[in-house]
Every structure is written in C-alpha cells, then in structure tokens.
Structure 1
Amino acid sequence: MEQSEKTILSIMYVAQIQEKNAFEEIKKKTLLEENIIKSNIENLIKKQFVNEDNTLTESGRNSLIVVLAGGVFDIIHPGHIHTLNAAKELGDVLVVVVATDNTAMKMKKRRPLHVQEQRQELVNSLSMVDLCLIGQEDDIFKTVNHVKPQIIALGYDQVHQEKFITEGCKKIELDAKVARLQSPIPESSSSKIQKEYGESIHGI
C-alpha cells in the first residue's frame, strides 16, 4: 500500500471516530486537490478498503495499526513528548485519551491546573497525535472498545498494570497488545514541575 493511501485511511478512521465528514477532513489535513483525493478514494474502494460512503471496510480498518495511549497531561513536558513519539512509532494512528477532571483528581490527589477540555486541546495540538479524546469516568474500556486499538501503550509512570489492561480487553473481546514505554527522563513529571514552580514563586 502506498503511503498516500495509508494517510487517507488514517484520516478516514479518525473522521469515523469523530463522526466528521471524511472527505473534508482529508482536504484539510493533506492539502491535496479534490480530484487527486477522489482518485485515491476510488482506488481504495476498488481494493475494498473503503466503502462507498467513505467509511473503512473491515479490511481497511485491519490495514491500520492503531495505538492508544492515555494520561492526565496537565502540564505537557519533555517526558510526554518522548513517550508519545515512541507510541506513534508503534503504529499508523495514535489516539490519546486524557483523564477526566474527576479521574485526574483521584490519580494525582490534586485538582488539575487545566480542565479536561483544555488538556484535550493541548494534546490535540501535538504533531504526533492523530486524535485526542476525553476518557470515560466509569469504565476506561468503553473508550478502548470505541477506538479498538491493536496496541495499548503505557507510559513509564502509569500505574495501570499490563494484566489489568489485558484482562479488560479480553472481556470486550479485543485482541490488543500492551506496550510499556520507557522515558530517558523519568524524573520529569507534571506534579514535580508544579511543585517546583510553586516553590520558586514563594521564594521570590
């Protein structure tokens, strides 16, 4: 498969998740001329990767490796960038889930500096991220089932254990691999940055 076709399939997949117009999203994200986009889509329909309504067929979806990563992402720091870059390298599409404000409070024992919509916007602005969603409070596997990733990437500092994720995926009949990512700067964290910033302000 050509890279241009893979790119179009990736954009179509993200458009489906967001319930957006796939053709308009391809125009916006690739800057290709309409006739070239239409020609590519026609080829993908002939190959049975795409349906007539510009949604992915099962073969089209299976041709993409979707990676799912999650976290609070309250203060974007170099550790996040490295981890998300490493996650993107594992597949074709990177979907990131940011924790809700309530979940973030439970995890961090403090209120996040940015509300969930702001954190979603920040993560969506990162070049390696194809789509950022706000998570579900009651059941993280609702989002996992919605995205249906082939790989779930866990950050170096995340408490979720591989066994918990693997067993949860089995319950929703999803065959996904779990990848534990490492960071070259494990001492970097949003909580530490906030604490050190607060101390420096008080010290002025």
Structure 2
Amino acid sequence: MKQLEKLILSSMYVSSLSDRDPTDIIKEKVGVTDEIIDSKIQECISNHLINEDKKTLTENGRSSLKVVLAGGVFDIIHPGHIHTLNAAKSLGDILIVVIATDKTAEKMKKRLPLHNQNQRKLLVDSLSMVNLSVVGHEGDIFKTVDLIRPEIIALGYDQIHQEKFITEGCKKINLDVTVARLQSPIPEVSSSVIEKKYGEDIHGI
C-alpha cells in the first residue's frame, strides 16, 4: 500500500475515535493540497477501502491497518517512555495510547499524579510517534480495548499486567489480539527510578 493511501486510512481511523477532521490530520503529516487528498480519497472509495461518506473505513480498509495499543500513567515523560513508545509504534501502522485516569494513577502510584489526566493526555498527544491518546475507563481496561479494537497490545517491561490476563480478557470481547512485552533499552531510566531519586524535590515544586 502506498504511503499516502496508508496515511489517509490511518487518519480516517483516528478521526473515528476523536472529534478531528481526517483532512486536518492528513495535512499535519504531509504537505499536499486538498485536491490531491480528495483525489486519493476517491481512489480509496473505488478500491472499497473508504465508505461513500468519505469519513469512515470499510471492513477492507480497517483490516488493512495494524493498530497498536499501549497504555500508562505518563506523569513524567522521560527517555524510557520515548523508546518504549517508538518500539510500540514500530509494531504496526497506528499507535493509540491509553492514559490512566487520575483515580487509576493514584491507585497505581500510591499518590496523586503531578499532572491531571487531561494534562497528561496533552503531553502524550504532542509526541510524534503517537497517533492519538485517549483517557481510559475507570476500573475496566477492556472497555477501552473494545473501543479501539487493536491488533496488538504493547506492554511496557515494568507494567504489572500479565500477557495471559490481557489475552483472556480480549477473548471475552471477541478480540483476537497479539500481546507484545516490550523491553526497555534504558532500564535505568524509569518513572520509579526518577521518583526514588528525585521524588521529594519533584513533589515540592
């Protein structure tokens, strides 16, 4: 599949999960005119990849994309996050990142996050490898998984979720998914290490 066609299909998918116009998403990624975009969309419609509404993917269009789902708190963005998210993105065409809610983050970290969930979403959305971030559901991670319907779920090396738990949970929502456990290329750089070394200073800002 050609690069522009893949970008258009990816943008249509991201648009379906957000309130953004797919054309605006495309223009952010590549400098092409509206005429070129419209022409390519018409070609995708002819190839049964995009529906006539020019906003949604057909079943063939969706199946041509490999969506990767990753998640975390992302309170303090550090090099470990960047490497992990780059590794996750390399597994597919689209990277969707789930941001833990403030309540979930507090349960996980035993403290309130420095940044609220909307601020953390804004931080993650600014990362170039991330196509879209969404705030997760309270208490049930599979509600968000069911919304995204990814082909791959990428787990960080230090995330507590077990592959079997994820796989079995996905089966309950009729989702056949591959679970990938990512290895950190810089294990000495993690949120817990940063907090252990600088925690009091950080929280005293």
Which residue identity lines up with residue 158 of structure 1 in the other structure?
Answer: Q
Task: Determine if contact 2:14/2:131 at 8 Å carries over to the other structure.
Answer: yes
Higher mean alpha-carbon deviation, 39-48 vs 182-191, is at: 182-191
Amino acid at match of 1:40: K
Counterpart for residue 14 of structure 1: 14
Are 1:162 and 2:163 counterparts? Answer: yes
Query: What is the distance in 2 between the residues matched to 1:126 and 1:166?
Result: 28
* Count of residues in correspondence between the two structures: 202
Q: Partner of 1:64 in structure 2?
A: 65
Deviations 1:124-151 (A, max 9, x none): 0000000000000121111101100000
Residue range with higher mean Cα deviation, 27-36 or 129-138: 27-36
Distance 2:199 2:6 in 1: 45
Write out aligned runs for 1:15-94 (5 A).
15-54=15-54, 55-94=56-95
Is the 8 Å Cα contact of residues 12 and 26 (structure 1) preserved in structure 2?
no
3-state DSSP class of the match of 1:67?
strand
Give TM-score, length-normalised by structure 2. Answer: 0.94
Gaps of 5+ in 1: none
How big is the shift at 1:199?
A: 5.2
Deviations 1:47-86 (A, max 9, x none): 0000011210000000000000001111011111110000
Identity %: 66
* Number of the residue aligned with 2:140: 139
Larger mean CA deviation between 81-90 and 188-197 belongs to 188-197
RMSD of the TM alignment (CA)? 1.6
Q: Is the 8 A contact 2:49 2:59 kept in 1?
A: yes
How far apart in 1 are the matches of 2:97 and 2:74? 10
Unaligned runs of 5+ in 2: none
Alpha-carbon distance between aligned partners in 1 of 2:71 and 2:150, rounded to the nearest angstrom: 12
Residue 4 (structure 1) aligned with residue 4 (structure 2): yes
User: When the two structures are superposed, what TM-score results if normalisation uses the length of structure 1?
Assistant: 0.94
1:177 Cα offset (Å): 0.5
Q: Secondary structure at the match of 1:132?
A: strand
Cα distance per residue 1:69-110 (max 9 Å; x no partner): 001111011111110000000000000001001101111111
> Structure 2: which amino acid aligns with 1:9?
L
TM superposition shift of 1:184: 1.5
CA contact (8 A) 2:99 2:121 kept: yes
1:100 is aligned to 2:107: no
2:113 counterpart of 1:112? yes
Classify 1:45/1:190 alpha carbon distance in 2 versus 1 (closer, same or farther; 3 Å).
same
Q: Deviations over 1:142-172 (max 9, x none)?
A: 1101100000000000000001100110000
User: Is 2:155–2:181's contact at 8 Å kept on the other side of the alignment?
Assistant: yes
Distance 2:7 2:96 in 1: 15
